[in-house]
Amino acid sequence: MERILSVNNRPDEKMENHRLEGNHVLEVNHLCTSFFTQKGEVKPVNDVSLVVPAGKIVGIVGESGCGKSMTARSVMGLLKYPGKIVSGEILLNGRDITHLPEKDRCRIRGSQISMIFQEPMTSLNPVMKVGKQVEEALRLHEHISKKEADRRMLEIFEAVGIPDAEKRCKAYPHQLSGGLRQRVLIAMAMICSPDLLIADEPTTALDVTVEAQILRLMKELCKDGTSLLVISHNLGVIAQICDYVYVMYAGRIVEQADTITLFDRPMHPYTKGLLHAVSALHRDQEVLDTIPGVVPNLLHLPEGCGFSPRCRECEDRCLKEQPLLTETGPGHKVRCHLCQSAGQGKASSEPMSGGECLKDTLPAENGKTASDSCPMKGEERK
């Protein structure tokens, strides 16, 4: 825990502030990605805007099928047919990479931007030793000797906490535990020191002890200069690791705020529902307080607010008008008709204690709240 906290207590405040205000490693503006299927157009990424400031950890959270992985794949240029970016832009260190030709994409993948995929087992080649796989990722981008690549591979294995690295690098993926496989993937993603690492459900398949180790490791990576975009459906993971959070539902961002504000004062009924469900689990309630219904089929979204069929606070206009993402406080935006008058809405005024159980895991910064150090503080509000 001490190491995790120390990540947030960085000494160079001036540099930090400069970075927060001006330097976004990743900027996604009004991104729309669609799948053109025989049954019609599916929009898993619908007008999504987000930023990852340098040196920060940003999270995307939401239920299964809400578009988290498709957002990440759009950024990586790894959409599979019939998926396609329809509009919007993706800037990596200020450079527009939205429609970068595949040849140029290959150059930046690994060296400037890396991704840990959702399925660790399918991301590794089962018939190749893990050390060789990590080495290959390095030699793809850097023209170095085999000896130097060996040295760097062992160095990164040790850095990500793989014990007995010389022996383990000769193992095949199936010979390693889930935690070690995930460390190999992190090593592979990090060996070229990318500016941005996207981690899609990095700890889903791991037990809680290994999960804590991997999260700590990712915090350490961030300290060493790599910014992180962490995707998870697990609010506990998001609470432990992220500086700022985007909540996604049915392809859209429905709420965004710094982590402490989001857990202290969630405003969107969907965010509240997610937090209530977690706190019910922690309270060992016999009947879980879940969000009614399921994520809608993206082919048949309701006309107004996408959350309306499941929302206990739904009103007439919710059925007809799509709510806009509206700023309700510094760095806090909500897409809900009830929250649109600058945080004075009904939804915002209700007490919310759903995130209590996760508060112990939230990052603390020298007594400051996360909103004091909000990554979006001072930036132009969109």
Ligand X SMILES: Nc1ncnc2c1ncn2[C@@H]1O[C@H](COP(=O)(O)OP(=O)(O)OP(=O)(O)O)[C@@H](O)[C@H]1O
Our finding on whether 306 is near ligand X (CB under 6 A) is: no
Q: What are phi and psi of 191, to 5 degrees?
A: -65, -25
Across the strands, what pairs with 47?
none
C-alpha torsion sign, points 309, 314, 318, 324:
negative
DSSP calls for 279-313: HHHHTT-SS--PPSS-PPPTTS--SS-TTGGG-TT
Contacts for 52 with CB less than 8 Å, ≥ 6 apart: 24, 25, 26, 58, 196, 227, 228, 229
Q: Roughly how many angstroms between the first and final C-alpha of the chain, as a whole number? A: 35
- Kindly indicate which of the ranges 41-49, 217-225, 291-299, 303-311 contains the residues binding ligand SF4, using the contact rule CB under 6 A: 303-311
Binding track, positions 91-130, relative to ligand X; x by CB under 6 A: ---------------------------x------------
Residue with Cβ nearer ligand SF4 (202 or 323) = 323
- Shortest CB 237 distance to Mg ion, Å: 14
301 binds ligand SF4 (CB under 6 A): no
Residue 13, exposed/middle/buried by CB under 10 A (0-12, 13-18, 19+)? exposed
Query: With binding defined as CB under 6 A, does residue 37 bind ligand X?
Result: yes
**Of 62-70, 100-108, 130-138, 325-333, which segment contacts ligand X by CB under 6 A?**
62-70
Q: Which does 44 bind (CB under 5 to 8 A by kind): ligand X, ligand SF4, Mg ion, none?
A: ligand X
Give the integer Cα–Cα distance in Å for 369 and 379.
Answer: 18
Beta bridge partners of 60: 231, 246
Instruction: Name the strand (E) or helix (H) holding 246.
Output: strand 244-249
- The option from ligand X, Mg ion, ligand SF4, none interacting with 305 (CB < 5 to 8 A, set by class) reads ligand SF4
CA atoms within 13 A on the CB side of 309: 12
Binding mask 58-97 for Mg ion (x = CB under 5 A): -----------x----------------------------
SS3 35: strand
Please name the residues in contact with 106: beta carbons below 8 A apart, sequence gap of 6 or more.
none
| CA-closest candidate to residue 132, choices 193, 78, 187 | 187
Sole window of 36-44, 140-148, 258-266, 303-311 interacting with ligand X (rule: CB under 6 A):
36-44
In the list 54, 66, 149, 242, the residue contacting ligand X (rule: CB under 6 A) is 66
In terms of CB distance, is 144 or 295 closer to Mg ion?
Answer: 295
Q: 62 or 173, CB closer to ligand X?
A: 62
Pairing verdict, β 244-249 and 57-61: parallel
Residues 222-241: x where in contact with ligand X by CB under 6 A, - otherwise, as a string: -----------x--------
179 binds ligand SF4 (CB under 6 A): no
d(CA 88, CA 28): 8
Is 249 a binding residue for ligand SF4 by CB under 6 A? The answer is no
Binding site for ligand X (CB under 6 A): 35, 37, 42, 44, 62, 64-70, 118, 233, 298
Where does this chain bind ligand SF4 (CB under 6 A)? Answer: 269, 305, 307-308, 311, 313-315, 318, 323, 336-338
Would you tell me which residues interact with Mg ion (CB under 5 A)?
69
